[in-house]
Amino acid sequence: MVRNACYTFRLLGSKCRRKCHQHHHLLQSLSLYSLRKDEMWREIHIYSFLLLSLLGTIAETKKKNLVTEFVKETGSSIFDGNKNTEFAILIESKESDDYDDYLDEFKKAAEKFEDKVQFVYINSDIEENWQIIEFLGLIAEDVPGVLFVGLKKHFKKYKAEMKEITKAEIISFVQSCLDGKAIPFLKSEEIPDDWNTKPVIELEKISKSKYLTQRKQPSYSSVNAPWCEACQKTMPEIEKLGELYKNKKNLVIAKMNSVNNEVFGLPILDVPTIALFIKGSKKPIYHTDDERTANNFSEFIATNLEKNEENSMKKDEKERKKEKTNDEKKQLKDMNKEEAKSKDEL
């Protein structure tokens, strides 16, 4: 009979803590370990000499789970913003001699931010992954590279400038992004001279992207990518929509290539992204219908412009009532002052 200590391991989400209680039990060549997972306690019996192996397995599993590998089929669920709104991204080839070292440094850095930032690895060897790599603004010469993406208020991305990918460099970079000290970057390309002479105007430079949000009249824009099959099917309908509205001065139809251009404050998490911009609105109104035809777009625009007009009228009416109430209160206050003054004089 051997006297052994009983160890309790508590696994709570991403945090793993060990509490050691010196309870003396008479166990023959066995130690009792309690594991709590998913709010349920389970007791398992293992040989004492397996303890270090168990701890190593738990630590290694926890370390692996700190970094998620991007796979196209499940990629949208990683960046949907439901669980995490901030991401550190390592882009590297698995065929590279430095791959194992860089990934290990990336995992070590992830331990510091496991509750704040989701760490994601994207394999640059996979051709399909270049759609999101280019979307994030990187070219082949930028690989290997580390990025930070934030989705809290606006879609912002930051590109790390580091001589070597190390734990310390990654931590410093991510922390500067979280602290708001890093400077986000936006892609932009030059535009043709006739950018605003066609029924569908082209927004290809950052300065021109303000055309959407700063014009007095509403703007309806389609943000596309050359490789996107859905975009290719949608663009002819956008062109038809442009023809419908080309003689109307109360609306602008626009398009933008999202691979080479970005708009600050306009998160583009998928393409095509189609939205209506109304002056005074805090956010664009996104078109989410499955049907993407010129007629459907036109109905969407008309419905939302009508709603906006109704909301504006209600807001104006509310302001008038508020102003009237304030005037009445002021008049009553002035009358009370006059009455009080008259009484004092008597």
31 pLDDT exceeds 50?
no
d(CA 30, CA 49): 9
CA 134, CA 127: separation in Å to the nearest integer? 11
Q: Are residues 298 and 224 located together in one domain of the fold?
A: yes
Q: How does pLDDT run across 262-314, given as a tens digit for each residue?
A: 776 666 667 888 988 887 676 788 898 989 999 999 999 999 988 888 888 88
Whether the model clears a pTM of 0.85, i.e. scores above it, the answer is no
Confidence band, pLDDT 50/70/90 cuts, at residue 82: low
Q: What is the mean pLDDT of the chain?
A: 75
Question: pLDDT, tens digit, for every residue of 103-144?
Answer: 999 999 999 998 889 999 999 999 988 888 887 888 889 999
75: confidence class by pLDDT, cuts 50, 70, 90: low
Question: Residue 210 domain-assigned?
Answer: yes
Same domain as 315, residue 221: yes
What local confidence, expressed as pLDDT, does residue 257 receive? 84
CA 273, 277, 283, 288 torsion-angle sign: negative
For the chain, the straight-line distance linking the first and the last C-alpha, in angstroms and rounded, comes to 106
pLDDT band at 76 (very low <50, low <70, confident <90, very high): low
Of 231 and 283, the structure prediction assigns the larger pLDDT to 231
137 HSE (CA, 13 A, CB side)? 19
**Domain end marker among 18, 44, 64:** 64
Q: Tell whether 267 and 343 lie within a shared domain.
A: yes
- Decide the pairing of beta strands 2-12 and 40-47: unpaired
Regarding whether 99 and 24 lie in a shared domain, the answer is: no
Are 274 and 221 a contacting pair, CB within 8 Å? yes
Say which range, 80-84, 93-97, 170-174, has the weakest mean pLDDT.
80-84
Residue 84 in any domain: the answer is yes
Q: How many domains does the chain have?
A: 3
Q: Which long-range contacts (CB under 8 A, 24 or more apart) does 161-169 make?
A: 165/90, 165/98, 165/102, 165/105, 165/106, 166/105, 167/105, 167/108, 167/109
126 lies in which domain range? Answer: 67-178
pLDDT, average across residues 87-103:
95
Backbone angles phi and psi of 82, in degrees to 5: -75, -45
Whether residue 42 is found in the same domain as residue 56: yes
